[in-house]
Amino acid sequence: MDKSMTVGVIGAGTMGIGIAQVAAQAGHNVVLYDAREDVVKKAVADLLGTLDKLAAKGKISGEEAAATHGRIKPVNNLKALSGCGLVMEAIVEDLAIKKKVFADLEKVTSAGTILATNTSSLSITAIAAACSDPSRIIGLHFFNPAPILPLVEVVPGLATDPKLVAQSSQLMASWKKVPVICKDTPGFIVNRVARPFYGEALRIHEEGIADIPAIDRAMKEIGGFKMGPFELMDLIGNDINFAVTESVFRAFFFDPRYKPSITQQRMVEAGWLGRKSGRGYYRYDQGQEQGQEQDHARGQEIVERILVMLINEAAEALNLGIASRDDIDLAMTKGVSYPKGLLKWADEKGIAECLTKLEALEEQYSEDRYRPSPLLRRMAREGTTFY
């Protein structure tokens, strides 16, 4: 796949225009389709302003900004994608709508066109089932904002041609992205492994162990995370975070490890969606709350509890062959900017210590939510490490 290949993008929302920008900056001509003509034209016009700002900051040259913008052509007819070598779909997370788009797309593109979905939580296999030739459907999950975050999860469905995995990974690398390969399972790598970052923080808050600002401070100041879980949920949008949590919970047949929080639901019901609504776990029309004073020992306890849950989830993903050891750690550092890969972190802490903390939580709560991964049990018994 060279730069002469035209890339199609379906959906002119934040992800769609972001992916279009990435492809255009990599030298491809891009056809950007959206059924709403006004939306697609506005998206391309707004992108020019974004590129001009990058040029003003010296991130790219003025010539590169103009060339990138000039490579993107807005269209409002799906047939305009007929000459594309790759088509990226980035529309609403609705399986029925995506299946219809791919069925229609298959009819207007050539047999050699790769059809990719940017879904973050839906089954690639289910989307591909809408096509007569599901072998050319693959998941390429970018992270928001697509031009900045380097990670792309490459996800083949059951019927995907194996050659597409290597081809797509090479293409993403040529776009200066970091591809990781994972199985078509709920949440892929990042949205699966990261669930305890939010879920366990919510549980700690609900139990009254610490308030929201204290939990966020502990995760940043002691844990080394760039943002605390509540700050991050407000940034993502509490409606989006709750929807993803519900989706993963259902997709795993109601495994208690992924159980949503009543607190999440109430925030959505109140319309406290985070930064975009002006209020979430924090109020954005006022100064940030400082929260209760907390000693270092309590902060350390919070970090340890959330961290061992994250490590357990990463270990279970490896145990079930969701992705390789290196790709799991790469996904968490490049996709959500964790300070370390979780499996490497587990080695530093000690596998046996991680297991002991999980077993203590399991005994304390008598909940399957805290069950340790069989891989951690085996490694602790054998004295082995991930690296």
Least confident of 4-18, 52-66, 264-278, 288-302: 288-302
Q: Are 123 and 36 in a shared domain?
A: yes
Last residue of a domain, one of 128, 158, 181: 181
Q: Which range has the worst mean pLDDT, 149-153, 173-177, 287-291, 321-325?
A: 287-291
Q: Which residues pair with 124 in a beta bridge?
A: none
Q: Both 25 and 73 in a single domain?
A: yes
Tens digit of each residue's pLDDT (9 = 90 or more) over 85-122: 999 999 999 999 999 999 999 999 999 999 999 999 89
1 assigned to some structural domain: no
Rg (CA), the chain: 22
> Is residue 187 included in any domain, yes or no?
no
Domain boundary among 146, 181, 216: 181
Q: Looking at the structure, tell me whether residues 196 and 99 fall in a common domain.
A: no
Q: Are residues 200 and 173 in the same domain?
A: no
Residue where the block lists tokens 């204290």: 214
- Assess whether 321 and 196 both reside in one domain: yes
Q: What are phi and psi of 73, to 5 degrees?
A: -115, 120
Specify whether 177 is located in the same domain as 205.
no
Q: How many domains does the chain have?
A: 2
Please list, in sequence order, all residues whose beta carbon lies within 8 angstroms of the beta carbon of residue 182, skipping any fewer than 6 positions away: 153, 154, 155, 188, 189, 322, 323, 327, 331
CB 158 within 8 A of CB 125: yes
pLDDT exceeds cutoff 60 at 27: yes
Report d(CA 380, CA 376) in Å as an integer.
6
User: pTM to 2 decimals?
Assistant: 0.94
Residues 176 and 234 in one domain: no
Give the model confidence (pLDDT) of 303-339 as tens digits. 999 999 999 999 999 999 999 999 999 999 999 999 9
User: Which of 181, 210, 232 finishes a domain?
Assistant: 181
Inside any domain, residue 387: no
Query: What per-residue confidence (pLDDT) applies to 108?
Result: 96
SS3 324: coil
Give pLDDT tens digits for 183-232: 999 999 999 999 999 999 999 999 999 999 999 999 999 999 999 999 99
Residues 340 and 372 in one domain: yes
186 in a domain, yes or no? no
For position 204, which CATH number holds? 1.10.1040.50
* pLDDT surpassing 80 at residue 289: no
Shared-domain flag, residues 210 and 290: yes
* Percent of residues, the chain, with pLDDT higher than 90: 91
Catalytic residues: 120, 141, 153, 191
364 within domain boundaries: yes
- Whether 47 is in a domain gets the answer yes
Q: Give the helix, strand, coil percentages of the chain, each rounded to 5.
A: 55, 10, 35
Output the pLDDT for position 121. 83
237 and 376 part of one domain: yes
State pLDDT tens for residues 346-377.
Answer: 999 999 999 999 999 999 999 999 999 999 99
Structural domain for 175, as ranges: 7-181
For position 295, what pLDDT does the model report?
79
For residues 142 and 164, membership in a common domain is answered with yes
My answer on whether 138 and 234 are in the same domain is no
Mean pLDDT across the stretch 39-49? 92
Give residue 114's pLDDT.
96
Residue 321 confidence (pLDDT): 98
pLDDT at 3 over 90: no
Structure tokens, 210: 């610490």
CATH for 21:
3.40.50.720
pLDDT tens across 133-157, in order?
999 999 999 998 999 999 999 999 9
**2 in a domain, yes or no?**
no
